[in-house]
Structure 1
Amino acid sequence: MPLTFPSHLAPVLPLKLWRPRWFDGVALATGAVAPDVGYLFTGTRFDLGMRTHTLGGLLWWCLPVALGYAWIARRVVAGIAVHLPAPRLFGWPRYVGLAGVRHPWQVTVCSALIGAFSHVGWDRVSHSERLPRLIGIADFHGLTGLYWFQFADVFASGGGGLLVVALAIRAARDGEIFDGEPPPAPAANPLVFWRVALTVTGLGALVLPGLPAATVPGPAGVRALHVGGLALIAGAAAARSAPVRGAERARRLEDEQRRPG
């Protein structure tokens, strides 16, 4: 399968850039990764198999997962965005404004479903021999020495990931991330943020090999992405609650200057 993130965002991000007011960009993105969230439970008694990648799964699994992840994303994006590297290249400070963006519920629901459908459809194309046969290649393995899914997964993962990065840079350059002037960003506290984020990442790296199906690429990759996401959320929460050292020093200096004598 193509990489859950960022590659599976490639089919839907152009929709947001094409008609910004027609789509909820956050819901498009969370919908596009929602089918693979089921891999978190692979190998356990809650194993969902491929049911999250079916048309029925779009409603009972992908929609609620996408809406839940979109709700979380809007609440943590500001605290994470101010700490990410290459802020000028990717325009991270402008993502702070997404925390206050709300779309009509119909737009958000449809965007989540479109994102999830794009994921399921792309996986079907990657895993089926129909596309090469459609273009006249009856035996892809015999011609190339590779099975179609091997070629398609590598091409979709690499090409999709590069497209997402290119679209993100273009959106930052053209000011398409947030319409208008974003609200003030929260104070950055990079020392605390990265200390906590790296600690959570390290703990996750210790836990992941002991989970069921830890050597299966799909579940392993999705779990690693969630560890990374939790690390960023934990870092943002810690940075928000901890005092900024620079601000503390400035206040102390002001107090000392105000003392008589």
Structure 2
Amino acid sequence: MPLTFPSHLAAVLPLKLWRPRWFDGVALAAGAVSPDVAYLAAGTRFEVGGNHTAAGLFWWCLPVALGYAWLARRCAAVVAPWLPGRATTGWVADARTSVPRWWITGGSALLGAVTHLGWDHLTHTDGWLRALGVDWYARTGLHWWTVADLSSTLLGAAVAVDLARRLARRHGMVNGRPAPGGPAVFGGAAVATALGGVALLPALPAAGQPAATGVRLLHVLALALLVGGLAARRARRPRRGRSDRK
């Protein structure tokens, strides 16, 4: 499967760049990764099936995408100051203040999930190639997905990063605030959280499945950034001395 993040974002970011008022960029991104969130529970009694289907778009992808979009907006101000590059910082910070109408957010979340399923179909199966008269395996001796997954992952990641930069420049977000003080606190908390999470991954159910471990790793890294941001914010708060308690 193509890498959940950032590769799958390459299919939706052009829409935000093309018509920024028509689409919710945060919901598009959340929708584009939502089908794979189910891999968090792989190998457990809560394992989800059918999330990569047309019906799953509505009962799984849409609510998950809306939840992740809400969470991203809530956490943006905490994490954004610590991301590398002012363009990226501004782009993420803008997500907290730019909230489109509900039908734009809902439609964007659903559309993002549709692009994920479409991308997976093109890379997982070669039926569409055969419909065009191309027998990939007969010509190359390789299964189509072994080539399509890796190549689309690398190309998608490069495109997604480039488009994110273009969006930041277009909307004047390159002048984001510099990161506040306390980088040591942020770095220490983030690294400790990441190391703890990574050490735990091999012990989780279905750890031998690349999809499950990959999605869990992305969540560990996101959690590490959030914990680091919260720790740095707490450290920067002025401490009340004895004179303040009188």
Q: Does the alignment reach a TM-score above 0.5?
A: yes
Change (3 A) 1:124 1:188: farther
Following TM superposition, by how much is the alpha carbon of 1:160 offset from its aligned partner in structure 2, in angstroms?
0.5
Normalised TM-score (structure 1): 0.85
Change (3 A) 1:47 1:20: same
Aligned-residue identity in percent: 49
Following TM superposition, by how much is the alpha carbon of 1:94 offset from its aligned partner in structure 2, in angstroms?
4.6
Map 1:8-47 → 2, pairs under 5 A: 8-47=8-47
Corresponding position of 1:255: none
Counterpart CA distance in 2 for 1:177 and 1:163 is 19
Following TM superposition, by how much is the alpha carbon of 1:231 offset from its aligned partner in structure 2, in angstroms?
0.6
Counterpart CA distance in 1 for 2:168 and 2:123 is 31
Corresponding position of 1:218: 211
Following TM superposition, by how much is the alpha carbon of 1:188 offset from its aligned partner in structure 2, in angstroms?
4.5
Output one character per residue of 1:24-55: Cα deviation in whole Å (capped at 9) or x when no partner: 00000000000000000111111113x11111
1:206 counterpart = 2:217: no
Following TM superposition, by how much is the alpha carbon of 1:156 offset from its aligned partner in structure 2, in angstroms?
1.2
Query: Which ranges of structure 2 fall in alignment gaps of 5 or more residues?
Result: 240-246
- What is the aligned length? 239
Following TM superposition, by how much is the alpha carbon of 1:170 offset from its aligned partner in structure 2, in angstroms?
2.0
Change (3 A) 1:208 1:163: same
Matched residue type, 1:100: T
Following TM superposition, by how much is the alpha carbon of 1:225 offset from its aligned partner in structure 2, in angstroms?
0.3
Query: Which ranges of structure 1 fall in alignment gaps of 5 or more residues?
Result: 249-261
Normalised TM-score (structure 2): 0.90
Secondary structure in 2 matching 1:53: coil
Corresponding position of 1:227: 220
Counterpart CA distance in 2 for 1:62 and 1:31 is 7
Following TM superposition, by how much is the alpha carbon of 1:86 offset from its aligned partner in structure 2, in angstroms?
2.9
Output one character per residue of 1:86-132: Cα deviation in whole Å (capped at 9) or x when no partner: 33xx4423532321221110000000000011111111111111232
Map 1:35-184 → 2, pairs under 5 A: 35-49=35-49, 51-87=50-86, 90-138=87-135, 140-175=136-171
Counterpart CA distance in 2 for 1:37 and 1:101 is 25
Matched residue type, 1:209: P
Following TM superposition, by how much is the alpha carbon of 1:4 offset from its aligned partner in structure 2, in angstroms?
0.3
Structure showing greater radius of gyration is 1
Corresponding position of 2:231: 238
Please provide the CA RMSD for this pair. 2.1
Corresponding position of 2:242: none
